[in-house]
Amino acid sequence: MGMPPDWECVGHSEIDRYANMVLRYRFKDVKNYGNAEKIDWKEVPDFDMLVGGTPCQDLSISGKRAGLGGKRSRLFFEFARALTEKHPQYFVWENVKGALSSNGGWDFARVLLEFSEAGYSVWWQVLDATWYGIPQHRERVFVVGALGDEPPLKVLFESAHAGSLAGAQKIETIHRSRRQIKRIYGINGVAPTLHRYTGGHQDVKIAIPVLTPNRMEKRQNGRRFKENGEPAFTLTRQDIHGIFDGKTIRTLTPLECERLMGWPDNWTRYGIDTEGNTVEISDTHRYNLTGNGVVPQVVSAIMENMVIEKVMK
């Protein structure tokens, strides 16, 4: 999602059981090459662009910060190996904002050095999903590269997006229902606040985003509750978020989490197991999938700003 619809995906690399179920359900004809450390890139068809996000746990400020040498985040070097061995014209690499400060900034310096030594000129920036009409603060660093010395992107600055939100994607209804009492609405098209109609005289209650309803001590950015008018907390696989309507706290549903990611409704609801059976994915694993995901509207904005000369046919 987020890539040009007329482009072809020649394959992907994924080992998570439940992510693979959804991938088989949504992209039946795309080959999964499995563990990135075991891929023989000579067996992979040539491609124009490599896109991916390597595991972020060792770089995140919420983790143990083992850095690029950590068991999971070291898979970055497999991304770099793919570039070195396949030499696609372009790449897009995504990770948490904490990648910039990991090991005092030396890890990100190593990232840029690896890309440069592979022959790419790069552009990088931290982009927030709220700039693209998504009702969730989700800051991620994106690095975009192109072979040679030409800049891979047109200029893409925060101010351009902050000033254009009025024309961004409209998210009028966060939770749809035939009964108005159960609908949840957004404000100003960006849905910074969740609204809930509570029945009777239809008194409108302000529903404030809450981090981890069942873990009172848990904080994100120093807070557990948002203020009225703010976007939701960043979704993660560890935290199940909720909303507070002034009286009670309830957990966000997987469907609401998908909408907070800008995904189609029920995108993660079904999968295909290894025996070819269509199965329903549990809520727990759907929360994990959304927390690990990427907002496609951000990817689309990057693609629209890329200076692409070699378009896949």
CA quadruple 288, 291, 294, 298: dihedral positive or negative? Answer: positive
| pLDDT above 60 (res 304) | yes
- Is there a domain that residue 7 lies in? no
Q: Quote the number of domains for the chain.
A: 2
**Both 74 and 119 in a single domain?**
yes
Instruction: Provide, rounded to the nearest whole percent, the portion of the chain with pLDDT above 90.
Output: 43
**Both 84 and 220 in a single domain?**
no
Reported in sequence order, the residue ranges of the chain that DSSP labels E, i.e. its strands, are 49-52, 90-96, 120-128, 139-147, 173-175, 184-185, 194-197, 204-210, 242-244, 249-251, 270-272, 278-280
pLDDT, position 173: 46
- 192: Cα separation from own chain's centroid: 18
**Both 183 and 131 in a single domain?**
no
Residue 162 neighbours by CB under 8 Å, 6+ apart: 131
178 or 286, greater pLDDT: 286
pLDDT, position 38: 95
9 is catalytic: no
**Both 40 and 157 in a single domain?**
yes
Tokens read off for 312: 């896949």
**Dihedrals phi, psi of 104, to nearest 5 degrees:** 65, 20
| pLDDT above 50 (res 244) | yes
**Both 125 and 80 in a single domain?**
yes
**Both 155 and 180 in a single domain?**
no
For residues 105 and 141, give the distance between their C-alpha atoms in angstroms, rounded to a whole number. Answer: 13
Q: Indicate the length of the chain as a whole number.
A: 313
**Both 219 and 190 in a single domain?**
yes
**Both 116 and 209 in a single domain?**
no
- Is there a domain that residue 131 lies in? yes
Read off the CATH number of the domain in which 108 is found.
3.40.50.150
Range of the domain at 142: 17-165+294-305
Q: Of 50, 56, 111, 255, which one is the catalytic site residue?
A: 56
40 or 228, greater pLDDT: 40
| Residue-wise pLDDT tens digits, 115-153 | 999 999 998 999 999 999 898 889 999 999 999 887 777
**Both 66 and 154 in a single domain?**
yes
| pLDDT above 60 (res 58) | no
**Both 186 and 301 in a single domain?**
no
- Is there a domain that residue 3 lies in? no
Tokens read off for 216: 């009172």
**Both 200 and 123 in a single domain?**
no
Which band of pLDDT confidence, cut at 50, 70 and 90, is reported for residue 154? Answer: low
Question: What count of other Cβ atoms lies within 10 Å of the Cβ of residue 36?
Answer: 20
- Is there a domain that residue 63 lies in? yes
pLDDT, position 159: 38
